[in-house]
Structure formats: C-alpha cells, structure tokens
Amino acid sequence: MAETVQTHPSPPSPGGIRGFVSDWASDQQAFKNVSWGKAMMWIFLLSDTFIFGCFLLAYMTARMSTVVPWPNPSEVFALNIAGHDIPLILIAIMTFVLISSSGTMAMAVNFGYRRNRRMTALMMLLTALFGATFVGMQAFEWTKLILEGVRPWGNPWGAPQFGATFFMITGFHGTHVTIGVIFLLIIARKVWRGDFDTERRGFFTSRKGRYEVVEITGLYWHFVDLVWVFIFAFFYLW
Amino acid sequence: MAQVTVDSPRQAAVQKAVHAEHQQHPIGLYLVVWGLLFVLSVCSYLVDYFGLQGYLRWSLILIFMVLKAGLIVAVFMHMAWERLALLYAILLPPIAILVFVWLMTAESHYTLLTRMAFFGTAPGN
C-alpha cells in the first residue's frame, strides 16, 4: 500500500471530542492511525449494515402488518433428534460454529501481528473451515424447508411472506459467508507463501502486502458474525 | 487549531509509536470475549428452549443481542481502541436505521389497521 506523504508534520492529536473535531477538520487524512485499506473496509461494512438493516426492516414490516399468523420459528426450525423435537437446535449449532470461527479469526489477526506465519495461515484455514461448515448447514436447512413446502410465495404454516423473507435474509447472509471463505482462502495462501514477510507484490495491485490485510479480512469476517447475531435474534428467536 | 503544542522529541517519539502501533492485544482478552460470546449465545438459546413469552422474551433477546454485538465490535473488530474520528463515522450513521424502524412501525400499524378494516381478520391477502 502506498505510503501517505505528509507535507506538514502534524502535531500530536489530542484524544476525546477535541481529537475528533481536530481529526475531522485536519488536512489530508481524517482517520489518523488507520490505513486507507482499513478505513475503506469499515465504510464498506457500514454500507452493508444498511443493506441488512433494510432487509430486517422489510421483514419487520411484513410481520407486523400481516393478518395471518406468522409461522413459529421455534417449531419450524426444530429437529427431531433421537425421537425428541428439539427447538431451533440446528440454528443454535450454526451460531456456535460461527462464533467459533470469529474466535479463530481473532487469533489469526493476533498471530499475524506477531509475525507467526504458520499459525496465522492455520488459524485462517480453520476459520474458513468453520465458515464452510456453516454454509453446509445452511444448505441442509434450506433443503429441509423446501422439501416441507416453503416457497417465497407461501408455506404450509401461515403468513406467505415467511418464505420470501427467510430466503432473502439467510440467502444474502450465506452469500456473504461464502465470499468470506473465498477471501480467507486467498489471504491464507498469501500468508502461507510468506508474501507479507518477503514483501512480494500482489498479482493485481502490484503493491506490497502487509500483515494488516489479515486484520482487514478479519473485520469482514467478524461483520458476517455480527450480522448473524441480529438475524438470530430477530428472525429465529423473536 | 488555535492550540499549538510544542513538539518535544519525546512527544514526537510517542506519536511515531502510535502511528506504527498495530492492533495487538493479549490473547487472554480474546479468549475471555470468546467465552462470553458462547455464554451469551447459550443464554439467548435458552430463552427459546424454555419458551419464555411476551416482554420478558423480547427484552432478554435484545439484551443478549446488544451485548454480543457490542463485544464483537469493541474487541474483535478493535473499535474500542480506534480514535473517535473513525468510531463516530461508523457507529453513528446506523442511527438512521433506528429512525427507519420507528417510521415503518407506524406504517405497519396503519397497514394492519387498514387490512382489518377492509378484509376482516379472515386469512387471505
């Protein structure tokens, strides 16, 4: 990544509200100790927040305004294990898988800044594995629901909007997880090859990579987990 | 800014250290947060498992959700250590979504009222 050329050495910026005002009023760079890559990832995540926010809002509006009872997610997503109907168990396992992946990702970032090449790559691969497991379980869930007759325009248990919102929200989230897994695998390969130690230039960008890329990948991955926290609360538990 | 501080060599060194600083924190902290996330997830699952209903259910769901989201953003995404300039730029705009929630709540009450007035509570469109 290109180094920013500071034409005027900036005085040490104060903290707190005063620091916020002086950062935003300053020359060249508002986010002082954050690289452009990290700032842009945050801004992308903010825009993604609005997308998922609007999906959940659409779901809320449909559910609040329907005169037909909403299907009970606790029963819809129950699994019959050893003769007992356990409510929401698959979703609970998916939640734990995703939280585990968030933990391993945090470890990967930590090992990255310690310049531990092997552990960083291994932790990222483990994260990708958890992510792939999550997507697999989601595919299982979709298959089960489709076989039970859930369609975007109707379902056997109640309000027809249930299927549309379910496929839309979980589908979009699953896509994000899938993209995250691909992103993780690409960066893990670079870490494993030692690109960030030898400052090898990237194939597309011709820029030198740094271990900060691991943290930026981590930001995306934690965001995917964050979105799931909201989906779990509003769609599955409510 | 009107307030200009004199750059002592020591201050400059501190400033350099801040710029070069990475988001590096003790592993123990991550493990504690990881554990907390598991506990909070178990708690929110138990809300459904025990079949709590009504305001108790909704408030518990929201509390566990906000705690989990806060831990992820603050520690895993390192927001707790970022400068306020970034923190406000990212965390304040979502307030617009909350305003939107308020608008759509009013709107869906109206839609429901209209549907009940014209179609009764009979199932259908």
Q: Please tell me the least confidently modeled range out of A4-18, A38-52, B73-87.
A: A4-18
pLDDT for position A12: 65
pLDDT for position A7: 59
Please judge whether B112 and A67 are an interchain contact, meaning their C-beta atoms are less than 8 angstroms apart: yes
Is A4 exposed, middle or buried (CB count within 10 Å of its CB: 0-12, 13-18, 19+)? exposed
Q: Residue A92 is nearest to which of B45, B84, B89, comparing CB atoms? A: B45
What is the set of domains in chain A, with CATH numbers?
34-237 (1.20.120.80)
pLDDT for position B6: 45
> What is d(CA A226, CA B57) in angstroms, rounded to the nearest whole number?
21
Q: What is the mean pLDDT of each run of 10 residues along chain B (125 residues)?
A: 46 44 80 94 90 90 95 93 90 95 95 88 53
Mean pLDDT of chain A: 89
Listed residue (A59, A55, A63) closest to A227, CA to CA: A55
- Find out whether B112 and B119 touch, Cβ atoms under 8 Å: no
Residue with the larger pLDDT of the pair A9 and B24 = B24
Across the range A102-115, mean pLDDT stands at 92
Q: Residue B84 is nearest to which of A12, A19, A96, comparing CB atoms? A: A19
User: Does residue A133 carry a pLDDT above 70?
Assistant: yes
Tokens of A36: 């452009």
Please judge whether A20 and B107 are an interchain contact, meaning their C-beta atoms are less than 8 angstroms apart: no
Query: What residues of A are in contact with residue B22 (Cβ under 8 Å)?
Result: 113, 211-212, 215
Across the range A58-84, mean pLDDT stands at 88
Nearest-neighbour CA in chain B from A146: distance (Å): 22
User: Does residue A113 carry a pLDDT above 70?
Assistant: yes
Strand partners, A151: A154
SS (H, E, C) chain A: CCCCCCCCCCCCCCCHHHHHHHHHCCCCCCCCCCCHHHHHHHHHHHHHHHHHHHHHHHHHHHHHHCCCCCCCHHHHCCEEECCEEECCHHHHHHHHHHHHHHHHHHHHHHHHHCCCHHHHHHHHHHHHHHHHHHHHHHHHHHHHHHHCCCECCECCCCCCHHHHHHHHHHHHHHHHHHHHHHHHHHHHHHHHHCHHHHCCECCCCCCECCCHHHHHHHHHHHHHHHHHHHHHHHHHHC
Please judge whether A74 and B5 are an interchain contact, meaning their C-beta atoms are less than 8 angstroms apart: no
pLDDT for position A5: 59
pLDDT for position A30: 85
**pLDDT tens sequence across A174-184:** 999 999 999 99
User: Does residue A224 carry a pLDDT above 70?
Assistant: yes
User: Does residue A114 carry a pLDDT above 70?
Assistant: yes
Residue with the larger pLDDT of the pair B20 and A10 = A10
CA B21 to chain centre: 25
B44: enclosing H helix or E strand: helix B27-49
CB contact A61 to B (< 8 Å): yes
Across the range A120-129, mean pLDDT stands at 95
B75: enclosing H helix or E strand: none
Query: What residues of A are in contact with residue B111 (Cβ under 8 Å)?
Result: 61, 65
- Find out whether A202 and A131 touch, Cβ atoms under 8 Å: no
**pLDDT tens sequence across A190-199:** 999 988 888 8
pLDDT for position B20: 44
CB contact A140 to B (< 8 Å): no
Q: Which residues are within 8 A (CB) of A147 and not within 5 positions of it... i.e. 6 or more apart?
A: none
Residue with the larger pLDDT of the pair A168 and A13 = A168
Across the range A101-129, mean pLDDT stands at 93
